[in-house]
Amino acid sequence: MATPVTRSIVCPVLIGRESHLDSLLHFIEQAQHGRGQTVLVSGEAGIGKSRLIAEALKTVRSAHVQNAATTTLILEGRCFEPDRTLPYALMLDLLRSFLAVHSAHDVAALAGSVAPDLVKLLSEITASMSASGPGTTLDPEQEKRRLFSALLHFYSRLAEGQPLILVIEDMHWSDDNSLEFLLYLARHIASHPILLLLTYRTEEEHPQLLQFFAGLDRERLTTELMLSHLSIDEAEVMVRTIMGEQRPVSADFIAAIYTPTEGNPFFIEEMLKSLVTSGELIYTQGKLERKSRAKEASQGLSLPEYQHLPRSVQLAVQQRLNHLSVEARDVLSFAAVVGRRFDFALLQHLSGRNEADLVRLIKELIAAQLVLEESEDVLVFRHALTRQAAYTDLLVRERKSLHHSVAQTIERIYAKARFKKGQKDLTV
């Protein structure tokens, strides 16, 4: 008898990141003992960067409960996409996270003599530093350097009383001024109990961010923890952990979840959530199954590919497509209809573009980390869900028309190839 699944679809523990967690806790311990450093946590959207940091911070806070003498101050900030055009948006977010639990007077007191410079960024402390006198007006570059010095002074003073962890998530959306300051900060924290912990999406790299990384690398200021996809065995453990069951999970079911998600933890959770919400996830004879798949299997039918992406997954992938030019989107649509892997020559016939033009557009897709060059003639979607999202974005009429074009083009190419081979055989 089949029974529906009804439970929260969030993995209660960290799966497949044990070595990364150990490394991160080691860096935190080093910073707590006065060896300040910068750590990058990187990977694609949904890979588990925030979850890894949350688990590490939970361990730190648990140590606080057990031993008040080990208290570490944690300030958390986050970049948002609109922040790219707002100078010092990230710095403001960090300072305001401190103000959320401390008074403006505390900020002014810690800033001390540099408060007049800091107030230009954080106007909330104006009333608390009236005795400090007005700041001096300088040219923009000097103003920036004064502000950098004031911020460094503030964070250094914070770390004098207790170790400081500065967590900044989604660095790929940071404004240029904040990136410049963070490089400045990274250069000066080696002798302070400060850990600068940054996350970014590898598919969202841009010139300013790459320049920031180059500065860190050139001066050997950082260690990077790069998160990769879970293995299929880790995905199976994750599914069983989420379901809170010791009962076996069918290999077909795990394959159906793993193939489109490729081991991305967020996508796995969202796929499961979608199946539960739709009533598709059931237990049949003690095994976790998709209802439709269980029915198809009992009737001897083949198991179809998962057709409907959860809205959250569609939006996550769609964000990466939105930055493409119209021409690159058109090329991506042709490629999505062809399949996960696609041939350059076929794409050129379908798009009707000359080689130089198509190479330029494919370079745009590669730069957006949507496709990869597998060989000189073959390209592949970086992620199965990218291809599926691009395909799902098409109207049914568009898909039928494109499929027809693909079929005709393939027939035309192969017919020409067969004709040339026949001519060659006759000559021989």
Our count of domains for the chain comes to 3
Return d(Cα 33, Cα 37) in angstroms, integer: 11
Rounded average pLDDT over 415-419: 53
38 and 186 assigned to the same domain:
yes
How far does Cα 418 stand from its chain's mean position?
Answer: 46
Q: What is the pLDDT of residue 139?
A: 79
Taking alpha carbons only, the member of 15, 14, 16, 26 closest to residue 55 is: 14
In one letter, which amino acid is 421?
K
Report the C-alpha gap between 149 and 117 in whole angstroms.
9
Q: Are residues 347 and 273 in the same domain?
A: no
Among the residue ranges 35-44, 80-89, 242-251, 413-422, the one predicted with the least confidence is: 413-422
pLDDT (average), residues 197-211: 90
Domain contains 113: no
Residues 251 and 192 in one domain: no
Quick check: is 153 in a domain?
no
pLDDT interval class at 355 (50, 70, 90): very high
Predicted confidence band of residue 285 (pLDDT cuts 50, 70, 90):
low
- Asked whether residue 323 falls in the same domain as residue 367, the answer is yes
Q: Which of 181, 196, 226 is the last residue of a domain?
A: 226
Is the same domain home to 415 and 336? yes
If you average pLDDT over residues 113-129, what whole number do you get? Answer: 72
Instruction: For residues 338 and 380, state if they share a domain.
Output: yes
CATH classification at residue 84? 3.40.50.300
Is the pLDDT reported for residue 122 higher than 80?
no
Average pLDDT over residues 374-401: 85
For residue 3, the model assigns a pLDDT of: 52
Among candidate residues 210, 226, 242, the one where a domain is terminated = 226
Question: Do 189 and 331 lie in a common domain?
Answer: no
Do 205 and 345 sit in the same domain of this protein?
no
Same domain as 42, residue 25: yes
In the predicted structure, residue 418 carries a pLDDT above the cut 60: no
Query: Could you tell me if 302 and 237 lie in one domain?
Result: yes
Is pLDDT of 420 > 70? no
pLDDT tens, position by position, 52-91 = 999 999 999 888 666 655 689 999 999 988 888 888 888 8
Of 304, 241, 230, 303, which is closest to residue 267 (Cα–Cα)?
230
DSSP collapsed to 3 states, the chain: CEEECCCCCCCCCCCCCHHHHHHHHHHHHHHHCCCCEEEEEEECCCCCHHHHHHHHHHHHHHHHHHCHHHCCEEEEEECCHHHHHCCCHHHHHHHHHHHCCCCHHHHHHHHHHHHHHHCCCCHHHHHHHHHHCCCCCCCHHHHHHHHHHHHHHHHHHHHHHCCEEEEEECHHHCCHHHHHHHHHHHHHCCCCCEEEEEEEEHHHCCHHHHHHHHHHHHCCCEEEEECCCCCHHHHHHHHHHHHCCCCCECHHHHHHHHHHHCCCHHHHHHHHHHHHHCCCEEEECCEEEEHHHHHHHHCCCCCCCCCCCCHHHHHHHHHHHCCCCHHHHHHHHHHHHHCCEEEHHHHHHHHCCCHHHHHHHHHHHHHCCCEEECCCCEEEECCHHHHHHHHHCCCHHHHHHHHHHHHHHHHHHHHHHHHHHHHHHHHC
The amino acid sitting at 403 is H
Decide if 125 is inside a domain: no
**CATH number, residue 390:** 1.10.10
The residue segments making up the domain with residue 322 are 312-424
Asked if the structure places residue 181 within a domain, the reply is yes
Residue 148 lies in a domain: no
Q: Is residue 147 part of a domain?
A: no
Judged against a pLDDT cut of 90, whether residue 214 lies above it is answered with: yes
Burial of 73 (0-12, 13-18, 19+ CB in 10 A): middle
Look at residue 216 and tell me if it is in a domain: yes
Residue 296 counted as domain residue: yes
Give the CA count within 13 Å in the CB-facing half-sphere of 166.
Answer: 27
Answer yes or no: is pLDDT of 124 > 90: no
219 & 261 share domain: no
Same domain, 181 and 274: no
Domain end call among 201, 226, 251: 226
